[in-house]
Amino acid sequence: MPRSRLRAALANPILLLAMAPLFWAGNHIVGRAVAGHVAPGGLSVLRWVVAAAVLAPFVGQCLRRDWATIHANAWTLILLALAGGGLFGTLQFFGLQYTTALNVAVLNSTVPAFIVLAGALIFRDPVRLVQVLGVGVSLVGVLVIISKGDAAALGALEFNGGDILVIANMALFAIYSACLRLRPIGLHWMSFTLVLCIVSGLANVPLALWEAANGQHLRADWLTLLAVLYVGIFASTIAYGAWSRGIELIGAARAGVFLHLVPVYGAVLSMIFLGESLRLFHIIGLMLILAGVALAARKPN
């Protein structure tokens, strides 16, 4: 991609914030595919090692320029990395071992509301009516898709301990997203993402060692390799970088509603990889979600 196009893409918050949910939707599918096959701690360590390796060839100049800023704000960056990467990513893999992809899709849809709440409670952010309306409209669209247009299907959902873990994890990610404003001004998004990768990987080493000591070893096969490459490159490097940069451009409250695109992408991926057909409820749900995103992402007057 020519540099001019790359710079334009990195300045387009809509593109960036639409991209991150796409790769996180794929992460849900991968997480369910490897549940019980790959130990969560070991997968998390390799995930962040791969992500750091992908960034390393491109971040040298930014890192040298930002080193003094990173050193001066080390604890802020460490806490952000632990919340948004070290804990969130690993707990997501744990939760996916004990619940269904459908439940995760439902619970994922609480994050935009959690982000607005976190911003209001922690930073006293004003809550605009149009934001609440946008979150509500897009949430209805999410429910239409995951219920396949049948309200009775939502009533039949069963939740367990894994779901409690997932919803607590969604609240953690919302706090992380709201607190991204604490990232030092001027710190390049690639430098920040590399710090997140390193801290997150190191934070999961004790868990990976504990798993290995208890016989939970990574299986050296194609499924493990593909899972590690996907979550390391797409769900970590690209998604986290795009999400951080998008929030930097328009703020967490306006960005949060883009997470409602996760089930939309999930439905599309199911059509591509599982042969599912496009149904009327997909179209209705998508229209509602896009309308809600457009409302919530509007720039304040």
What's residue 203's pLDDT? 93
For residue 159, pLDDT beyond 90? no
For residue 32, pLDDT beyond 70? no
Residue 297, both tokens: 């992402």
Mean pLDDT across the chain: 84
What's residue 3's pLDDT? 65
What's residue 100's pLDDT? 65
For residue 120, pLDDT beyond 80? yes
What's residue 77's pLDDT? 96
- Among 178, 208, 168, 180, residue whose Cα is nearest residue 88: 168
Q: What is the pTM of this model?
A: 0.81
Cβ atoms 113, 257 nearer than 8 A = no
Higher pLDDT, 53 or 152: 53
CA distance 46 to 50: 6
Higher pLDDT, 138 or 196: 196
For residue 262, pLDDT beyond 70? yes
Cβ atoms 69, 186 nearer than 8 A = yes
What's residue 182's pLDDT? 93
CA distance 143 to 102: 10
> Which of 9-18, 179-188, 277-286 bottoms out in mean pLDDT, i.e. has the lowest?
277-286
pLDDT (tens digit per residue) in 3-17 = 667 677 778 888 999
Determine the average pLDDT of the residues in 169-192: 91
Determine the average pLDDT of the residues in 174-199: 92
For residue 263, pLDDT beyond 70? yes
For residue 79, pLDDT beyond 70? yes
Higher pLDDT, 297 or 67: 67
Residue 132, both tokens: 């609440």
Helix pair angle (189-203, 40-72), 10° resolution:
130
For residue 19, pLDDT beyond 80? yes
